[in-house]
Amino acid sequence: MVRTAGEFHADTATDGADGLEKVRSGGYDIIFTDLKMPRMNGLEFMEHLREVDPTIPVVVVTAHSHLDTALSAMREGASDFITKPFNF
């Protein structure tokens, strides 16, 4: 699904593997990912993403806000870590 807000377009993936396929098609400026996903967790997703395109910034959004989880995400290349729930 693609959503548009002004000049911004957002795309969704059903899981990490689907997300990687979409990234391979190109056109992404930033990626928001959860850590808990089916088929491939967020840390595995980021590891594979770095092989596809190491330049795309990744923001991890998760309800699991333990310090060790955040550090693991940052070690895998996450640019930031946001805990759920959050308000815009």
State how many domains the chain has.
1
- pTM for this structure? 0.82
Q: Is residue 72 a part of any domain in this protein?
A: yes
Query: Does residue 32 fall inside a structural domain?
Result: yes
Q: What is the mean pLDDT of residues 77-84?
A: 88
The CATH number of residue 57's host domain is 3.40.50.2300
User: Residue 60 falls within a domain, yes or no?
Assistant: yes
Residue 67, domain extent: 2-83
88 inside domain: no
Band the pLDDT of 3: cuts 50, 70, 90. Answer: low
* Burial letters 13-47, b for 16+ CB under 10 A, else e: beebbebbeebeeeeeeebebbbebeebbbbbbbe
pLDDT digits (tens, 9 = 90+) for 11-68: 999 999 999 999 999 889 999 999 888 999 999 999 999 999 999 999 998 887 678 8
38 inside domain: yes
Q: How confident is the model at residue 4 (pLDDT cuts 50, 70, 90)?
A: low
Quickly state the pLDDT bin for 1 (edges 50, 70, 90).
very low
